Amino acid sequence: MPEGSYLYCDVSLPVPLDQPFTYGLPETLRHRVRPGSRLMVPFGPRKMTGLILRCHDDRPEVATREALRLIDSEPVLSAELLALGKWIAGYYCAPLGEVLRGMVPLASEIRQGKVWSLTDSGRDAARQLLLGSAPDDPVMQILRMLEKRPLSAAYLAKTQPLADKAIRSLEKKGFIVSEQVQTERDPLRAPSERLRVELIKTAPEGKWNKPERELRAFLELHPGSHNLKELEDAIKNVSMAARSLARKGVVSLKAEPMAINAGPIRVRHALNEGQQAANDRIVAAIRKHEFHAFLLHGVTGSGKTEVYLSCIEAVLVEGRSALLLVPEIALTPAMAGQFFSRFGDRVAILHSAFTDTERTDQWRRIRSGAASVVVGTRSGVFAPVKNLGLIVVDEEHDGSYKQEETPRYNGRDVAVVRAQAAKACVILGSATPSLESRYNVEREKYTLLELPGRIEARPMPKVSLIDMRVEFLETRKQGTFSRKMLEAIGEKLENGEQTIVLLNRRGFSSFIACRACGERVQCINCSLTLTYHKRDRRLLCHYCGYAEKVPSVCPKCDSDHIYFLGLGSERVEEELHQAFPTARIARLDRDTVTGKRQYETILQEFREGSYDLLVGTQMIAKGHDIPNVTLVGVVSADIGLGMPDFRAAERTFQLLTQVAGRAGRGNVPGIVLVQTINPDHYAIQMAAAQDYTAFYQKELGFRRMMHYPPFSAMANILVRSEKKEMAMRMSSDLGMILTAPIEKLKIMGPAEAPVPRLKNEYRYQFLIKAASRKTLNELLQRIRNYAIDHKWGATALVIDVDPLTLM
């Protein structure tokens, strides 16, 4: 790190603008600033924390303001990570300040509060207005309160239900100003993400304010306990409402149970021949201290984890560090336990379900070098390890590596870029590699390593397709289960073996409709039908969380001929109970699992044999190794196929192959029954044959013909507004600048998005395919600049590079 004394530094701030801001440095900071450290600076009337990009003596042309305070004496972002952040901002067309903020999970250290006080003109106004207007006007109330003393924004929001709006109008008039202040953390007042809120059964009635009423109504419709933070989107000011209702005895607030325990200790296996060969290739590359990317394609149950462990060991022997990324749902105590038992307290875990404080602790341990093996989900790719030797991305095809908010990066691809810059190796592992990654083998970017067989030569499960159209013709019944499926489940129950039943859709019925007028009950915020959840007797929107009671008559024509259509996992569970009254059945989906703990508990109890049957959505398909599972049943393989998305076939293939891979991992061979009405579809056929190569070839041909990735660089542009005309106008304005004939680009749109309205916003879409990254990136920068120049709201434009969802 260059020592020295500087007059200025360029700071990146978490604002939607790209350029860094130059600040002058006071005498006391000139010797201490370093790139990668956080600096508190004035920004407009506020104080903000930004990251120092550069320290220098180049006098800027315009006058600068002075930096206020240096937060870190040692940089929190190394030069390596700063460079990675810049790459992400460029590639994903995202504001650098927001990217960098997301890379440093230390928000808990600088908890800031806003304090409002009156300006001189505000003081005058208060005096004049107080004579005239209504005393319960929120604007007046706030002026009156602030006349006595400055107050925190949090306090105002708590005491004044309409504070938000009143404050905005007062600020606009120049009557009040805010100041950011540092506040100490009060351990008794845990942050929302650490709290669960639940309605108390004997809750008293009373007069509540709007957020309190909304929270109460929400809890009545959504029984059980909820993470407070997760309710923020659904209910305004929910945190305050929950705390005040807790004081009044209406709800209970309890600490979120967290912390990963060590989990079961697993034995260490001697590598078999295939594992050894893969290990040797990778370890040789690691020892060369050069970048090398491997795609480890190993069928389900081939023992990929053991290869990861032995490669990580080789990295540690060299005195370097390793990162292992796993999909969101896969980071269970079982997974973490394997790492603890092999590497002890050198392991740090970074999980998005951790609280700020927990994450900060882990982050500090990594930064200090105390932890040299990091297991983490997506954002773990930014772990500040020193001397990186290896990054492993397990289940590299998994969609949870893609962040679905700005910056919309893919952790797997960022891992490759980071490894490359650090002269480290990277292993992408999967039984069903993404087309993009597999194609990179052909382009000689990645080296393919294969584990074609299961451990101890266990057979792959035998998959049979059941044509449900034929079943219907033969039985004249539209049953959930075929006769063959019921028979097989019954047999396994007899034998004391376990069964997994997959239906990749939550709820009981996917929608309800009226026979008289054809109306389908839709969400009030989204152009989507509501799903019927029987246990809670409510209709629920799976996208925005809106819930309502089940109507007894049609909301449109009052007819009582309402009927329920489509099948969900809840109904599958119920019908299994009816068919097998003595079977012990557990269900795993987003409705039975509200906390991370529950997910692990259900899985653990199933593993221990407390249940015979496990029913669930795609959650049950991922990575679990439960030896006593000998039957996997798929109720409907067709659910994902109809999606308006060019990856529909790939996702279906991956899901079916992965869930089939849960069967027969012990001594008894596994069988898989797949019910479908598309038995001739190639994704279903090839998943049944568990023939990845055939699927890859076929799908690649389709992608090539259609110029879809990996044969083009793709981006999805969304234009959103709560007002339909506004969204339409903005998208057609944007369309104007995109029509000029541009070589090597294909632009589809503007068109209504497949879900035209979501979370109360109207959405228009452009899908862009480009022959080269450079062409695409230039166009995207133009689009972004257009939005900035035309002062579009912060959320109006979404640029999604390499999109995984096109809805």
Tell me which residues touch ligand ADP (CB under 6 A): 266, 269-272, 275, 298, 300-306, 455-456, 625
- DSSP symbols for 670-723: PEEEEEES-TT-HHHHHHHTT-HHHHHHHHHHHHHHHT-TTSSEEEEEEEEESS
For residues 448 and 430, the answer to whether their CB atoms sit within 8 Å is no
Q: How far is the CB of 623 from ligand ADP (least distance, A)?
A: 7
State how far the Cα of 293 lies from the Cα of 439, in Å rounded to an integer. 13
Q: How far is the CB of 153 from ligand ADP (least distance, A)?
A: 49
Q: Which is nearer to Zn ion, 624 or 720 (CB)?
A: 720
User: Which does residue 196 touch among Zn ion, ligand ADP, none (CB within 5 to 8 A, set by kind)?
Assistant: none
For 593, the token pair is 């699992």
Between helix 79-91 and helix 773-789 the angle, nearest 10°, is 80
Q: Which is nearer to ligand ADP, 339 or 363 (CB)?
A: 339
State how far the Cα of 118 lies from the Cα of 149, in Å rounded to an integer. 9
Q: Which is nearer to ligand ADP, 351 or 665 (CB)?
A: 665
State how far the Cα of 750 lies from the Cα of 738, in Å rounded to an integer. 10
Q: How far is the CB of 760 from Zn ion (least distance, A)?
A: 8
Q: How far is the CB of 619 from Zn ion (least distance, A)?
A: 21
Chain residues binding Zn ion by CB under 5 A are 514, 516-517, 519, 523, 525-526, 541, 543-544, 546, 554, 556-557, 559
User: Which does residue 546 touch among ligand ADP, Zn ion, none (CB within 5 to 8 A, set by kind)?
Assistant: Zn ion
Q: How far is the CB of 478 from Zn ion (least distance, A)?
A: 23
Q: How far is the CB of 540 from Zn ion (least distance, A)?
A: 9
Measured between alpha carbons, how far is residue 60 from residues 216, 603, 637 in Å? 55, 60, 62
Q: How far is the CB of 373 from ligand ADP (least distance, A)?
A: 17
Q: What is the DSSP letter of 461?
A: P
Strand 562-565 with 425-430, pairing? unpaired
Q: Which is nearer to ligand ADP, 60 or 459 (CB)?
A: 459
For residues 59 and 43, the answer to whether their CB atoms sit within 8 Å is no
Q: How far is the CB of 516 from Zn ion (least distance, A)?
A: 4
User: Which does residue 275 touch among ligand ADP, Zn ion, none (CB within 5 to 8 A, set by kind)?
Assistant: ligand ADP
CA angle 705, 297, 456 (to 5 degrees): 145
Q: Which is nearer to ligand ADP, 249 or 452 (CB)?
A: 452
Residue 43's Cα: distance from chain center in Å?
Answer: 31
Q: Which is nearer to ligand ADP, 273 or 680 (CB)?
A: 273
State how far the Cα of 218 lies from the Cα of 284, in Å rounded to an integer. 57
Q: How far is the CB of 455 from ligand ADP (least distance, A)?
A: 4
User: Which does residue 306 touch among ligand ADP, Zn ion, none (CB within 5 to 8 A, set by kind)?
Assistant: ligand ADP
State how far the Cα of 676 lies from the Cα of 484, in Å rounded to an integer. 13
User: Which does residue 635 touch among ligand ADP, Zn ion, none (CB within 5 to 8 A, set by kind)?
Assistant: none
State how far the Cα of 375 lies from the Cα of 337, in Å rounded to an integer. 11
Q: Which residues pair with 629 in a beta bridge?
A: 498
State how far the Cα of 283 lies from the Cα of 159, in Å rounded to an integer. 62
User: Which does residue 287 touch among Zn ion, ligand ADP, none (CB within 5 to 8 A, set by kind)?
Assistant: none
User: Which does residue 213 touch among ligand ADP, Zn ion, none (CB within 5 to 8 A, set by kind)?
Assistant: none
Q: Which is nearer to ligand ADP, 657 or 675 (CB)?
A: 657
CA angle 565, 571, 572 (to 5 degrees): 120
For 31, the token pair is 């010797």
User: Which does residue 271 touch among Zn ion, ligand ADP, none (CB within 5 to 8 A, set by kind)?
Assistant: ligand ADP
Q: Which is nearer to ligand ADP, 392 or 530 (CB)?
A: 392
Q: Which is nearer to Zn ion, 521 or 673 (CB)?
A: 521
User: Which does residue 514 touch among ligand ADP, Zn ion, none (CB within 5 to 8 A, set by kind)?
Assistant: Zn ion
